[in-house]
Structure 1
Amino acid sequence: MTDRPVQHRTLVRVLLAVLLASGLVLGIWAAFFPLGFYESFPGFGRHWVSADGPYNQHLVRDVGNLFLALSVVTGVALAAATSMLVRATAAAWTVFSLLHFAYHLRHLDVYDGVDAAGNVVSLGSMLVVAVVLLLVAGPSAADTDRAATATGTDAPAT
């Protein structure tokens, strides 16, 4: 293995599992049942996607496919649990979650108070999970080697 195992292994695995479960549920629902996703996401009688514009099967399926692609990478990161892979996965989820969250923060006017709060809490939570994962994944062996080279010290054994 060219990358040492991540620190905080249990927390990292829990955070990866949360992202994986979320990605699979959303991905399967949107990719394979796009109209149902559009009409009834997030469920429980709420309608967050349909409130934001007309149905577009292509875009809903693409969102599902994106979540499934993130899920594949997340599953591999969960299985391998190396710093570099976990950090790359966390960075991808962070970029996606930050931009998704920012969009919805600017468009809360299409929702009532409960749905607006639900959007902020659910999307903000996913962003927090991704950022915490990025922070606890630890430096990769390459980072450690670069730091050791820069300071003239030996890198710790992996």
Structure 2
Amino acid sequence: MSMFARRILLGVTAAIGVYVGLWAAVWPTGFYDAFPGFGRIWVAVDGPFNEHLIRDVGALYLGLAVASIAAAFARDAAAARVVGVAWTVFGLPHLLYHVTKLGGMATVDAIGNVVSLGGNLALGILLMLPGPRETIDEKEDV
């Protein structure tokens, strides 16, 4: 994968991190009541409001966003792969949890939840992959 393609993926992960992170960290009640937006509600169906937990999730997403942004400015692919590991380590248990808690959601919300969280996980996995001519010991040109 070229550095250009990696930077696009890093931009997407950064945007996801900023969208979820700022909303949850700064407006936890609004996040609880209305995430992901567009008239859908995914968080409130999973249990009572917990400001501490929601703000922590926001901080986690903001941390991942900052790591994605920093990796986009790195001169080689190693930083992007490390960020991919972080998104994957977060994304897999996050997806697995939510897949088991879809019962209280409308079908469209359950599908949207699985697709969005699966997409986040896929982005992390893609960022971890070496390019076609890249090995672990080689650096990719900028």
User: What is the CA–CA distance in structure 2 between the aligned matches of 1:12 and 1:27, rounded to whole Å?
Assistant: 21
Distance 1:52 1:27, change over 3 A: same
List runs of 5+ in structure 2 lacking aligned partners: none
Structure 1 portions without partners, runs of 5+ = 1-6, 146-155
For the residue of structure 1 that corresponds to 2:129, the secondary structure is: helix
SS at 2:112 equivalent: helix
Aligned to 2:100: 106
Who is 1:88 aligned against? 82
Whose helix proportion is higher, 1 or 2? Answer: 1
Q: TM-score, normalised by structure 1?
A: 0.82
AA matched with 2:86: A
Deviation for aligned residue 1:71 = 1.1
How far residue 84 of structure 1 moved from its aligned partner, in angstroms, is 2.0
Greater C-alpha radius of gyration: 1
Q: CA RMSD for the aligned pairs?
A: 1.7
Identity %: 45
Residues of 1 paired with 2:64 and 2:122: CA distance? 17
Aligned to 1:144: 137
- Residues 75-124 of structure 1: per-residue CA shift (max 9 Å, x gap): 11011142221111000001111111111111111211111111111111
- What's 1:20 paired with? 14
Count of residues paired in the alignment: 138
Partner residue, 2:71: 77
Contact 2:3 2:77 in 1 (8 A): no
Q: How far apart in 2 are the matches of 1:39 and 1:67? A: 18
TM-score by length of 2: 0.90
